[in-house]
Amino acid sequence: MTAAKTAVQPTTQPWAPFFLSVLAAVCSAVITTTLGATPGWNLAGAVLAAAIPPMISASGPRPGMRVGVAVAVTAVSVLVTYGGFTSFAYVTEQQSTFPDPAELFVGGPTKDRRAGIAVSPDILKCTTSGCPRKISIVSTGEAPLKVGKISFDGDSGFGRTGECQGKTLQPQEKCEFGVTFKTEDPGVTRNGRMLIENNATDSPSSVTVEGRTSSLPDLSLSAVGVSCSMQPTRSIAGTGALRVTFKIQLTGALPGRTKPTVRVSARSDTGLSAGFQAVLGAPGKSVTSSVSFPLKTTQVNRTHTLIITLDPRKEIAESDETDNQAKVAITVSGAGVVGSVPRCQSEPA
């Protein structure tokens, strides 16, 4: 009688690839952290390391199903490793080895319990003429403060100048930037919030902003937009006439005036003088106006400092009287002879 022999097939522990995957991810995280890698690179290294054992075990029959299982094992291993390291960092209040969950699923800098931020002022009130102070950000923690996106909620007309966004501030380091408010609507008040994303745990920080516009109109002109030209005259000396062109802008409406005008005066330190009424354009738009000065022979080959003033008698109530004047230096050159016209050049004085 011959005894039947039963072949014993080798068995593989089904959980072995999973445990090896977690072990590989943990070892990778420890190594990259020791080497000083960023949280993002730590996570990338852990994912690659976690994929090695499952992929090796995927060889054999039914490769499609095995690869699918290997991918699933890798994903679970990474989640277990990520959760373990992140929970440990939260309990011990240490910097996390991996990116913060808010950075992965929401966006923004990785949170660090050691980072701190102080923003001032809490409330900023502005007008279309400007804001009284800048926004100050101070790093108050023990770890560097990473400033993320700076934005305003809603279409409020607020903007910012200068750059703090994207900067990393060392402990006690400060960064400042300005805020602007612009709107063409007179007599309105707009409220909003400025949001500053950062890596402190209470991010984002916020500042309440308020913008006001006056119900009064405003007249303005700028020396930058002033130009000059020379016109021939019948003068025997051939000096010609100096023509100065400038732009006037009206913001808001002048009550009770269907065709608004404004008194303009122009005087120089060399005796040039003129006064006239200029027609204004529609609110929010500029209109070009000009004034001419006949020149004497003593007024060529020299520089004239000319001051142009809108509403010199202050007959119109305005929201801002500081932008009613432009000062320019106009140089007239070329000796006056019959049949010739001198040249001129203007620039802000």
Residue 230 · residue 240 · CB < 8 Å: yes
- Report how far apart, in Å, the C-alpha atoms of 125 and of each of 25, 52, 164, 334, 347 are: 52, 58, 20, 53, 35
- Confidence at 133, pLDDT banded by 50, 70, 90: confident
Distance CA 29, CA 84 (A): 12
Q: pLDDT confidence of 304, banded at 50, 70, 90? A: very high
Does 287 reside within a domain?
A: yes
Nearest to 328 by CA among 239, 220, 221, 219: 221
Residue 109 included in any domain: no
Query: Are residues 193 and 152 in contact, defined by beta-carbon separation less than 8 angstroms?
Result: yes
> Domain for residue 46, yes or no?
yes
- Which of 70, 104, 138 terminates a domain? The answer is 104
Residue 231: inside a domain, yes or no?
yes
CA atoms of 67 and 63, how far apart (whole Å): 6
3-state helix, strand, coil in the chain (%, to 5): 25, 35, 40
Does residue 322 sit in the same domain as residue 201?
A: no
Claim to verify: residue 159 and residue 100 sit in the same structural domain: no
Q: Which of 212, 227, 246 is the last residue of a domain?
A: 212
292: which strand partners?
243
Separation of alpha carbons 81 and 183, rounded Å? 52
Per the domain annotation, does 2 fall within a domain? no
| Between 59 and 32, the higher pLDDT residue | 32
Range of the domain at 33: 16-104
What contacts 330, CB < 8 A, 6 or more positions away? 228, 242, 244, 268, 303, 304, 305, 306, 344, 345, 346
Task: Report, as an integer, the average pLDDT of 326-330.
Answer: 93
Among the ranges given (172-176, 273-277, 321-325), the one the predictor scored with the smallest mean pLDDT: 321-325
Q: How many residues does the chain have?
A: 349
Residue 61 in this model has a pLDDT that exceeds 90:
no
Q: Domain for residue 9, yes or no? A: no
Q: What is the mean pLDDT of the chain?
A: 80
d(CA 28, CA 47): 9
**Is the predicted pLDDT of residue 158 greater than 80, yes or no?**
yes
Does residue 293 sit in the same domain as residue 321?
yes
Examine the domain organization and report whether 233 and 344 are in the same domain.
Answer: yes
45 CB-near residues (< 8 Å, 6+ apart): 28, 29, 31, 32, 37
Domain harbouring 167, CATH code: 2.60.40.10
Domain boundary among 154, 189, 212: 212
Task: Give how many domains the chain has, as a whole number.
Answer: 3
Q: Are residues 197 and 250 in the same domain?
A: no
222 and 208, same domain (yes or no):
no
| Same-domain pairing of 227 and 206 | no
Whether this model's pTM surpasses 0.75: no
| Distance between CA atoms of residues 122 and 244, nearest Å | 48
Do residues 229 and 320 share a domain? yes
Q: For residue 70, is it within any domain?
A: yes
Mean of the pLDDT values across residues 227-247? 78
